[in-house]
């Protein structure tokens, strides 16, 4: 199943709420758990100062991105890795095709990588006749279901234990009442054979340290270590915004990201990969390819307001706190990245028209700013994209005209009072004909009742 695209957000969200209300229950429980863990983990550290530092390092890195990219390429090459530059998704996939051809790749094991989802790597490999296996347990589950991921950190949070029991019973033959331990054990056995047989391992990259040429990867299961160690070739797709100036900076980001994502001091397994196996090592890939990917990131970087979104470390904390995301999970957003971060990068990377209405899929409550470890001012960026949408004529004409009319009224107190009086006497249902957007209100809520007299009228008459 491929993504439905952001433009269908409203329908998809409504469908999920109407037809599969258990998703809302699962997602609410999962995100509240993640957030509780993050709160506890942040209490153990000086979170405010740490977030300031992380924001400043990333801002600095982005401000000097060209220099750091060059340095990273130099270092990775000196480490024996092959560095490729991919401006578009097609470029990235072409590079992958070449690696597949050059090495006669027949089967791949994949570590969880949102970028690889974004690029459509799996579908492309299958098209080349290569067997692809997702090895992260959550990704494995949704691969079996042929669904896209629902959350940046926990791809299967929209599913319950029973959903998993039924799936594993069908695909792996486990009993219908199997405990999670047993289910995980069955997955482990099935995937182990694949790890050992695969000739190519594919990963993303959480961070790329420029001074040492290091791709850093965080996980809990060990599948990333296995995918990047066992097969003879490793391809890492790394978004250019993942650059961090120094290996020692990575120490701060590994910890802050883990604390923000799952509440751990650090991910259970961290891989720091410099390049292919060295002559004094007994195992490891013979070739390591690092593909530096743009795919719309430079477009975001060029935007004077939205560039801040590139600081994102993909911890998912904003998804976990977002009251809008919580109602539906990620599928409603129709794209790789959902929740608040998805809403602010989609317009830059997909183009605003394709990304609509995501910048409007928010009540601007600001909870995300409380939790973002790199202090991205998400509501500010959402309003920025809304401005662009209005300028580009992507919002309904009735909305534009309605707001213009309202503005005129608001500058003329007498007319404002007349409108007030009209609204008191004209039911909202009728007003909804002139302003269709108001029908949205009536669909889900009782129409509000105006006060018998406006406050300003009461004041004129005197208040006891």
Partner 1 sequence: MLERVREALSDREPLPHPGTFEGWRSTATPDPVDGLVQLLEDAGGEVVRQPSIDAAAAWLASFCADFESSAVGETVPLLLHPPLPPGAPDTAPLGVSLARGAVAETGSLIMDARDGRRAQLLVPTHVVFVYAAHVYATLREALIDLADDLPSAIGFHSGPSKSADIGQILVKGVHGPGRLIAVLIESEG
Partner 2 sequence: MRVSLFATCLGNQFYAEACADAVRLLRHVGVDVDVPEGQTCCGQPAHNAGRPDEARSMATHIMHVFADAEYVVLPSGSCAGMIRSFYRELIDSDPGQAESLAGRTYELSQFLRRVLNVDSLGTGLRGRRVAYHHGCHALRELGVKDEPISLLAGCGAEVVEWEAAEECCGFGGLFSAKLPEVSAAMADRKLDTLPDIDFMTSSDGGCLLQLSGRAAKRRTGPPFVHLASALWRGVTE
| C-beta atoms surrounding 69 within 10 Å | 18
Choice from 31, 79, 295, 362 touching partner 2 (CB under 8 A) = 362
Nearest CA-CA partner of 100 in 119, 122, 78: 122
Rounded least distance, CB 55 to partner 2, Å: 18
Interactions with partner 2, residue window 8-67 (CB under 8 A): 9-10, 13-14, 17-18, 24, 28
Residue 277 binding target from partner 1, partner 2, none, CB below 5 to 8 Å by type: partner 1
Nearest CA-CA partner of 62 in 250, 242, 316: 242
- CB of 182 or CB of 360, closer to partner 1: 182
* Residues facing residue 237 across a β-bridge: 291
Choice from 56, 404, 427, 429 touching partner 2 (CB under 8 A) = 404
Q: Is 231 helix (H, G, I), strand (E, B) or coil?
A: coil
Question: According to the binding rule CB under 8 A, does residue 447 interact with partner 2?
Answer: yes
**What is the distance between the terminal CA atoms of the chain, rounded to a whole angstrom?**
65
Only one of the segments 60-68, 95-103, 334-342, 355-363 lies at the binding site for partner 2 (rule: CB under 8 A); that segment is 355-363
Residue 326 binding target from partner 2, partner 1, none, CB below 5 to 8 Å by type: partner 2
How far apart, in whole angstroms, are the C-alpha atoms of residue 438 and residue 94?
A: 49
Choice from 46, 56, 170, 370 touching partner 2 (CB under 8 A) = 370
Rounded least distance, CB 132 to partner 1, Å: 17
Report the Cα 13 to chain-centroid distance in Å.
Answer: 17
Choice from 423, 426, 427, 433 touching partner 2 (CB under 8 A) = 423
Q: Using only C-alpha atoms, what is the Rg of the chain?
A: 25
Question: According to the binding rule CB under 8 A, does residue 176 interact with partner 2?
Answer: no
Question: According to the binding rule CB under 8 A, does residue 413 interact with partner 2?
Answer: yes
Question: According to the binding rule CB under 8 A, does residue 279 interact with partner 2?
Answer: no
Residue 24 binding target from partner 1, partner 2, none, CB below 5 to 8 Å by type: partner 2
How far apart, in whole angstroms, are the C-alpha atoms of residue 459 and residue 446?
A: 28
- What φ, ψ does residue 32 adopt, rounded to 5°? -70, -35
Residue 19 binding target from partner 2, partner 1, none, CB below 5 to 8 Å by type: none
Query: Is the separation of the CB atoms in 238 and 292 below 8 Å?
Result: yes
Choice from 96, 324, 346, 350 touching partner 2 (CB under 8 A) = 324
Lookup: tokens for 97: 């095709």
* Residues facing residue 288 across a β-bridge: 234
- CB of 248 or CB of 387, closer to partner 1: 248
């Amino acid at each position: 199943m491929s993504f439905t695209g952001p433009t269908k957000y409203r329908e998809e969200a409504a469908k999920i709420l109407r037809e599969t209300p258990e998703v809302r229950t699962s997602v609410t429980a999962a995100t509240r758990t993640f957030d509780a863990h993050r709160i506890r983990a942040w209490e153990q550290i000086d979170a405010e100062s740490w977030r300031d530092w992380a924001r400043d390092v990333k801002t600095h890195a982005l401000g000097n991105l060209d220099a750091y990219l060059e340095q990273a390429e130099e270092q990775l090459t000196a480490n024996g890795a092959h560095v490729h530059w991919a401006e578009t998704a097609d470029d990235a996939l072409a590079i992958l095709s070449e690696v597949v051809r050059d090495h006669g790749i027949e089967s791949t094991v994949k570590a969880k990588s949102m970028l690889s989802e974004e690029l459509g790597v799996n579908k492309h490999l299958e098209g080349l006749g290569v067997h692809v296996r997702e090895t992260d347990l959550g990704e494995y589950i949704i691969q079996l279901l042929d669904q896209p991921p629902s959350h940046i950190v926990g791809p299967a949070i929209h599913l319950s234990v029973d959903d998993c029991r039924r799936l594993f019973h069908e695909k792996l033959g486990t009993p219908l009442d199997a405990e999670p331990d047993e289910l995980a054990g069955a997955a482990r056995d099935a995937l182990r054979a694949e790890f050992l047989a695969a000739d190519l391992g594919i990963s993303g990259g959480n961070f790329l340290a420029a001074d040492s040429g290091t791709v850093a990867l965080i996980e809990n299961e060990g599948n990333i270590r296995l995918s990047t160690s066992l097969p003879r070739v490793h391809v890492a797709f790394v978004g250019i915004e993942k650059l961090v100036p120094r290996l020692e900076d990575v120490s701060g980001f590994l910890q802050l990201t883990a604390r923000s994502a799952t509440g751990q001091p650090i991910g259970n397994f961290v891989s720091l990969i410099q390049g292919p196996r060295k002559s004094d090592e007994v195992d490891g890939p013979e070739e390591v390819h690092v593909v530096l990917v743009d795919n719309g990131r430079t477009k975001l970087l060029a935007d004077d307001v939205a560039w801040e979104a590139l600081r994102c470390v993909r911890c998912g904390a904003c998804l976990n706190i977002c009251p809008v995301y919580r109602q539906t999970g990620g599928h409603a957003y129709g794209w790789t990245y959902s929740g608040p971060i998805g809403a602010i990068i989609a317009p830059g990377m997909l183009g605003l028209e394709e990304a609509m209405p995501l910048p409007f899929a928010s009540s601007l409550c600001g909870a995300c700013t409380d939790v973002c470890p790199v202090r991205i001012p998400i509501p500010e960026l959402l309003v920025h994209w809304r401005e662009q949408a209005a300028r580009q004529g992507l919002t309904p004409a009735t909305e534009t005209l309605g707001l213009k009319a309202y503005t005129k009224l608001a500058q003329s107190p007498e007319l404002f009072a007349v409108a007030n009086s009209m609204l008191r006497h004209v039911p909202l249902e009728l007003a909804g004909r002139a302003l269709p957007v108001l029908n949205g209100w009536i669909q889900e809520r009782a129409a509000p009742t105006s006060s018998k007299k406006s406050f300003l009228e009461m004041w004129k008459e005197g208040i006891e």
